[in-house]
Structure 1
Amino acid sequence: MNLSLDEGKLFYDLYAAILSFVNRKLDVAPEPFSNAAEYMSVSPEERLAIRDALFDKRELIDEFVAENPAQLSAEQLRIVSTWKDALPGKFYVFRYLNKHAVFLTSDNSPTKAYGVVGLADPMEFVVGPSLPRLVTTVLLPFQGKIIYDGLVSGYNITFGGGIKRMLNEKYKQAKESPGIITSLGTQSGTLKTNGLKKKRSAKRKKTSAAAASPANEAKSVAAEITELTDGFCEKFLNEEYAKLCRELASALARKRPSPLLRGKRETWACGIVRTIGWVNYLDDPAQKPHMKLPVIDRAFGVAESTGQGKSKSIRTMLRIGSFDPRWTLPSKKESNPRTWIVQVNGFAIDARYAPRDIQEAAFKKGLIPYIPTNQATEEM
């Protein structure tokens, strides 16, 4: 469902008016604009910057209404004033329904489902047919509906079956209570579906309480992060990288308290892929696959400094060093010199050249991947 032509024109006129006001107040973009046509000629980057400035300083909405520089009617000013209830953030576009598209919140709080109406084009044309899709936008109240502000940025991430099942369960829970939210602010409303029986609801509440424990929450977050790293590795790397990224996410989830409970999923996924890539010299052109590490940051929508910092934090927490055998790709482990270093009577030696009894003892303790003399015999 879209806004009508008249509704769409009204929205763009009002939105251009207040963003023009914000731009004059804060001097965000060099070129001023005064109407919707001029606003649409401004670059997307500048429009985003002005939009973000507005919702960082929402008191500008009250100033705009008080000064009324665009000479708007009382009803038009009322519409603009409702935008103080705007909801910026990241959302999963989960499903297209006849009346609206369903946007699910992506933060750690209880999931909410919003019914969002398109502007000039159907949401399917804007977001694409393949769902779910993670996007960043601003949801706005508009004449009893929820719309987006015309500025949407998506993430080039493919989600696997695990995160799709997780989102489906969250959607079902949100639809049951409080329902699909169809307006924002003081006139907010929901579309509720038939509730389950009290017995089943009580059981779900009990299960939800158990799932809310830090350990279970860390596992749930790790599963979401793993879906992100799996999608990235499937598209750009290989299964060896995907497996090590899953193991690294699990290792972080097992720490107490788990660091995964703080920060964004995309940032953790970026840091994990970066860490495995760093250990295996992914940015070395001689390696296959090969990728510059800043490319990872861009794929997850993370600043390069943030990706570097998260990777360093992970390496510090888990004491991960260069050529670390624990995080070396299986196909590269044999050629990794640190794979074969063992301590014997306080001295570090290369197990490949040690006596057979030392090799056997090291193998039994899991310090080396196999007994080199056995491998040599098999090859002969």
Structure 2
Amino acid sequence: MKNEKTKEVAELVESFCKRYFTEELTACALRLCDKLGRIRKLDITRGKKEIWAASIVYVIARVNFLFDKANNNFLTSDIICDFFNTKKTTTGNKATTIEKTLNIGIGDTNYCTTEIIESFSFVETPDGFILPQKMANEMIKEIVIRTANAEESREIDEFMAEKKRQEEEAGQRRRERRAEINREIAEKKSKKKEEEQAKINERQLKLW
């Protein structure tokens, strides 16, 4: 029964991820779903599968700063809850319970992207300086480039150019996805406004 419920929740999570998450974020969400299906502290068989799925997505969104508009993968809690047809309060509370039970925090290596992990991980240099992992990695790349010979430099330049091209393409896809999300939000607001106006008109007709 537990395995069956976990599978159902995972299918819901995956359906959301296909539309809004990157592959890396999707892997984080499914990893969390699998974890919840194996622990005893939280019983995934209790409660609606939609609430579990929404809460899992909510956790991943929160620890990866997806609710921040500056994030390339930005989304809102409304998008999550509308997709799964759940209430924001219920979803948020369940997400908090999951985080506390599994001790999930910012930079968690199981549920955060590489970018977030590196931003919140630190290394000590031989000189005793403490640096963010991301900064240390950039410094290492710079040292490699400076010490490379002509042939190696050419290969590095080609590699970096290709990486930049891929990042630009990924950025364009993220911008397009964000624009799509904004359109969806605008359409939902417009539809809600039309429905409210229709109700007002209906009440006015009854008064006549």
TM-score range, shorter chain: 0.5 to 0.7
Q: Which residue of 2 aligns with 1:310?
A: 94
Structure 1 residue 309: Cα displacement: 0.9
Query: Is 2:2–2:44's contact at 8 Å kept on the other side of the alignment?
Result: yes
- Residues 1:354 and 2:125 aligned together: yes
Structure 1 residue 379: Cα displacement: 4.7
Query: Is 2:50–2:85's contact at 8 Å kept on the other side of the alignment?
Result: yes
Q: Which residue of 2 aligns with 1:228?
A: 12
Distance 2:91 2:97 in 1: 10
Residue 17 of structure 2 aligns to which amino acid in structure 1?
A: C
Alpha-carbon spacing, 1:246–1:379, altered in 2? closer, same or farther (3 Å): farther
Residue 73 of structure 2 aligns to which amino acid in structure 1?
A: P
Query: Is 2:57–2:80's contact at 8 Å kept on the other side of the alignment?
Result: yes
- Residues 1:286 and 2:57 aligned together: no
5 Å matches for 1:262-273? 262-273=46-57
Q: Which residue of 2 aligns with 1:320?
A: 104
Query: Is 1:218–1:258's contact at 8 Å kept on the other side of the alignment?
Result: no
- Residues 1:329 and 2:100 aligned together: no
Q: Which residue of 1 aligns with 2:40?
A: 256
| Stretches of structure 2 lacking an aligned partner (at least 5 in a row) | 128-132, 147-208
Q: Which residue of 1 aligns with 2:169?
A: none
5 Å matches for 1:59-74? none
Structure 1 residue 256: Cα displacement: 2.1
Instruction: Report the secondary structure of 1:277's partner residue.
Output: helix
Alpha-carbon spacing, 1:375–1:252, altered in 2? closer, same or farther (3 Å): farther
Alpha-carbon spacing, 1:298–1:257, altered in 2? closer, same or farther (3 Å): same
Structure 1 residue 327: Cα displacement: 1.8
Structure 1 residue 354: Cα displacement: 3.2
Aligned residue pairs total: 141
Alpha-carbon spacing, 1:276–1:373, altered in 2? closer, same or farther (3 Å): closer
Residue 255 of structure 1 aligns to which amino acid in structure 2?
A: I
Q: Which residue of 2 aligns with 1:277?
A: 61
Structure 1 residue 324: Cα displacement: 3.1
Structure 1 residue 320: Cα displacement: 1.2
Instruction: Mark the structure with the bigger radius of gyration.
Output: 1
Q: Which residue of 2 aligns with 1:218?
A: 2
The alignment-based identity, stated in percent, is 26
TM-score normalised per structure 2: 0.59
Query: Is 1:219–1:250's contact at 8 Å kept on the other side of the alignment?
Result: no
